[in-house]
A and B are shown apart, each in its own frame.
Chain A
């Protein structure tokens, strides 16, 4: 079919995935799932503050509930896959959609966060890989069977802590655009509520990053000593 032909009813696409708008909708839904997971993840991890024994009990409790344990694992893995299947391919297509760049360009509405979704997204992916490796004890240094001790020793190394903070900053920026954007993608646009979309994105993005960093800081003995 040459480029100049017009689609007819017979050739209209049957599956939802073939429409770029629907792929974006799936991306928005998977983003919601991932954000919901982040809050649950944080809430569970507050047990860290009660020490190694309490945390190990929490892990045993999780394992005793396979629906919670594997169910959550499968759902977030699927959400991540959807995000990875749509994000980079759309980014590449968008670049190809403008083969010759503007020599002068003036932005009036877009944000820095919106234009760097790919950068913040890839930073987050790297962060997630290192984070899982740290918890599971796959990092070369200080690996043990105890998730609690793997976390503790990991955060005594500056590259791990730096990447953690960097990951949280990337998360805040990613959600600043992502949370606002998902309302628009899912069609939630109403003059009465539009004014709340941006503040909501700021609160969610900054909120989860702040909560995560605070939890890690409170787990460093030196910080706790200072607070005492």
Chain B
């Protein structure tokens, strides 16, 4: 299949960017989206042109490194899928594809489609941890955790921190990411001691990084490759309110 690609090019964070048009031919429907870009870049390198910079790491949908807003949707048109797990069979022959970086002020563009997501790392450093020593893995059932609570903590923990939630949010808010991390730790017994300070520190850091404020558009949960839902955000709001009422 043949495709027309409109790709955002930007040489550094300060200079303005623009779309470059590329025509790629003989794309196999079984290629992943990133493999298609690899083929494009090989061609560019052969012709002594600058290849398109984009982020990737595991290519298994579990690391959160790949990004790309494809035809207006973070991680492309398929639900619950990272860009690396998106296959070209989702596109039709002759289609025009628009590829942009995450457009979030707190994620400055480094080059082309690569953005700096260290704002998420700093939010985690502010409070996304448990500092009590938990030792080696305990024997099963020594600390009883109800099954549904464990499940909710686990689904929250599936967040890979890719940034699609902030990229999809009309307000460029990081709420779903922060909320997932807070639920992941705050639902389990080990996370209780720092429950109040965690929600406060992480939210204070989120505001400081210059993300927007959640306006309940719910775009984040439909863009999330791990399908984390906005119920986490409701829980985060409850947790913050609770921190003003209860000491621990």
Contact = CB atoms under 8 A, between A and B. Distances in A.
Q: Do A and B come from one complex?
A: yes
A7 B204 contact: yes
B171 A187 contact: no
Contact of A188 (B19, B98, B234): B234
Nearest to A106: B72
A158 interface: no
B212 A110 contact: no
Contacts of B100: 102-104
Pairs of residues from A and B, 10 with the lowest C-beta to C-beta distance, nearest first: A189-B234, A106-B72, A97-B212, A187-B238, A110-B217, A94-B171, A97-B172, A94-B212, A104-B72, A181-B216
21 contacts: A6-B125, A9-B201, A12-B204, A19-B204, A21-B240, A22-B241, A22-B244, A90-B171, A90-B213, A93-B213, A94-B212, A94-B213, A97-B105, A97-B172, A97-B211, A110-B219, A184-B216, A184-B237, A186-B234, A189-B231, A189-B235
B203 interface: yes
Interface string A90-126: 1001101111111111111111001101000000000
Q: Chain B interface residue count: which class?
A: 35 or more
A12 B197 contact: yes
Interface in B191-208: 197, 200-201, 203-208
Contacts of B35: none
B71 A106 contact: yes
Nearest to A108: B222
A24 B208 CA distance: 16
Nearest to B223: A108
A144 interface: no
Interface of A: 3-7, 9, 11-13, 16, 18-25, 90, 93-94, 96-111, 114-115, 117, 177, 180-181, 183-189, 191
A105 B72 contact: yes
A139 B211 CA distance: 43
Contact of A109 (B17, B218, B235): B218
A24 B77 CA distance: 31
A94 B173 contact: yes
Contacts of B203: 19-21
A132 B238 CA distance: 37
Contact of A12 (B19, B170, B200): B200
B197 A98 contact: no
A93 B212 contact: yes
Contacts of A90: 171, 212-213, 215
B185 interface: no
Contacts of B234: 183-189
Contacts of B235: 187, 189
Contacts of A22: 240-241, 244
Contacts of A98: 103-105, 171-172, 212
B237 A97 contact: no
Given A3-B208, A97-B105, A181-B216, 15 more contacts: A4-B122, A6-B205, A19-B207, A19-B240, A20-B214, A21-B175, A21-B236, A93-B212, A96-B210, A97-B173, A100-B103, A103-B19, A115-B170, A184-B216, A187-B235
A22 B165 CA distance: 21
A83 to B, nearest CB: 14
Interface string B69-110: 101110001000000000000000000001010011110000
B173 A7 contact: no
B53 interface: no
B106 to A, nearest CB: 7
A213 B208 CA distance: 45
Contact of A97 (B69, B210, B230, B244): B210
B215 to A, nearest CB: 7
Contacts of A99: 105
Contact of A185 (B73, B209, B212, B216): B216
A103 B122 CA distance: 29
A181 B171 CA distance: 15
Contact of B71 (A13, A18, A104, A110): A104
Interface centre among A9, A21, A100, A183 (most CB of B within 10 A): A21
B73 A108 contact: yes
B233 interface: yes
Q: Among A3, A109, A177, find the residue whose CB has the most chain B CB atoms closer than 10 A.
A: A109
B170 A110 contact: yes
A160 B208 CA distance: 45
